[in-house]
Structure 1
Amino acid sequence: MSDTSNATAPALDVRMLGRVDYAATFEAMRQITLERAPDTPDRLWICEHAPVFTQGLAGKPDHLLTPGDIPVVQTDRGGQVTFHGPGQVVAYPLLDLRRAGYYVKEYVYRLEEAVLRTLAHFGVTGHRLPGAPGIYVRLDDPFSHAALTGPFPASDPFRGLGKIAALGIKVSRHCTYHGVALNVAMDLEPFSRVNPCGYAGLKTVDLSTIGIQTTWDEAAGALGQKLVAYLAP
């Protein structure tokens, strides 16, 4: 674990933003990170966006298959292309990792753990997959507690799995922005217009697809609570 500064970490400022414009939110995150001081409070923004494809910093154009009338926004996060749209809970932690006292690898682990615990709140078992950030569920039985067992075939590493949450972050001067997106009850068709997160043929699912009927507000509240718990120093 990294050294922490002498500053006491203020309480995480959680904001439920509702539906907000992606480009404006992206710019606000960058500006806040640029202007951060050692005593700037950490924030957690939870929101949803109108339909938009977002491309990672090293995103390959050939993963954008047929975007059609959905806008594509180039970002500075890691990862490849993904889709945001209504019915998806998007969480943006704006944290000072040096003050929190942990490194980027642990930060990613904590983000994923918060999603796993959120899924468990709804009775769903989520899974990590080596080398493929995000959270996945078994398509044949998303409620099974059985662990995934490897090795995973190189020709089809996602066999029998669907991606239910995507992760893409940016860390600048030890401070985070961008974050994680959990699919709740979406129009999933736009995911077929891209190679989601750079993986051709990767099936994307949401809670509704696997039989969980819930509201955006309930899912957002559950994810927010888990993020607050797991991102704490």
Structure 2
Amino acid sequence: MTRPLVRRLGRADYAATLGAMRAFTAARDAGTPDEIWLCEHPPVYTLGVAGQTRHIHDAGQVPVVRTERGGQVTYHGPGQVVAYPLVDLKRLGIYVKEYVYRLERALLATLESVGVTGHRVAGAPGIYVNLADPFGHAARVEPGPDPFAGLGKIAALGVKVTRHCTFHGVALNVAMDLAPFLAIDPCGYAGLRTVDLASLGVAADPEAVATTLGERLAGYLGS
């Protein structure tokens, strides 16, 4: 199996990283090795291609960057692990739906490594935790009209695919200031609570979590 090369970018400016992803994707060809970039961003709000500014209630001094990824609005900041898989889906032999499934599986496996059980919500990409029992292994029972009842979002997902090649990616909240999430409707859902590992009582080092996430992603995205 050929696994993507994992690169650690450290603390990286969002706009500069976005430009680098675009350039990498535009320049690659059928023989370009896949990569996964791991980083942490200074505070920034990002809007997806269909993102609506009404979901940002008060950005304050935090910059807002519009992007071509899917999804609505999210926040990046210190203490959050961001992963950008730059992979050729055609070479991997999968389509976007399977790609998103594998990204979520990597996030679930990373959470499992620190004892947290993550959950999917149909139609709402990302990973959520049961706030009443984040460490329990019971399958989640789908609620009634509110699909987010009792849940907190711990990982966001937004991707872009061009010429079968991916960029943008996932963000996993480890130990961060969660207050900026209160100024937005996370991923466009008013009232959706955002959590991190620290708020669940898990003392995890973001660098260690980044290593685990990079390994899981490389495993699920190897060709």
TM-score by length of 2: 0.98
| 1:153 is aligned to 2:144 | yes
SS at match of 2:214: helix
Structure 2 counterpart of 1:75, one-letter code: T
Q: Which residue of 1 aligns with 2:195?
A: 205
Is the deviation greater in 190-199 or in 156-165? Answer: 156-165
Alignment of 1:37-76 (within 5 A): 37-76=29-68
SS at match of 1:213: coil
Q: Tell me the matched-pair count.
A: 223
Pick one of 81, 89, 92 that aligns with 2:84. Answer: 92
1:21-53 CA deviation, whole Å, 9 max, x = no partner? Answer: 000000110111111111111110000000000
Work out the CA distance in 1 between the residues paired with 2:2 and 2:90. 13
| 1:16 is aligned to 2:8 | yes
Q: Which residue of 1 aligns with 2:185?
A: 195
> 1:164·1:205 contact (CA, 8 Å) conserved in 2?
yes
Shift of 1:153: 2.7
Work out the CA distance in 2 between the residues paired with 1:11 and 1:122. 24
* Runs of 4+ off more than 2 Å: none
Work out the CA distance in 1 between the residues paired with 2:198 and 2:124. 23
> 1:137·1:164 contact (CA, 8 Å) conserved in 2?
yes
Pick one of 215, 218, 223 that aligns with 2:205. Answer: 215
SS at match of 1:90: strand
Structure 1: give runs of 5+ residues left out of the alignment.
1-8
Work out the CA distance in 1 between the residues paired with 2:3 and 2:189. 38
> 1:10·1:42 contact (CA, 8 Å) conserved in 2?
no
Shift of 1:96: 0.5
Q: Which residue of 2 aligns with 1:104?
A: 96
Work out the CA distance in 1 between the residues paired with 2:95 and 2:117. 26
Work out the CA distance in 2 between the residues paired with 1:184 and 1:167. 15
| 1:179 is aligned to 2:166 | no
Shift of 1:232: 1.5
> 1:12·1:43 contact (CA, 8 Å) conserved in 2?
yes
Structure 1 counterpart of 2:97, one-letter code: K
Shift of 1:11: 4.0
> 2:59·2:183 contact (CA, 8 Å) conserved in 1?
yes
Q: Which residue of 1 aligns with 2:214?
A: 224
> 1:22·1:49 contact (CA, 8 Å) conserved in 2?
yes
Shift of 1:10: 5.3
Aligned residues: CA RMSD: 1.0
Structure 2: give runs of 5+ residues left out of the alignment.
none
TM-score by length of 1: 0.94
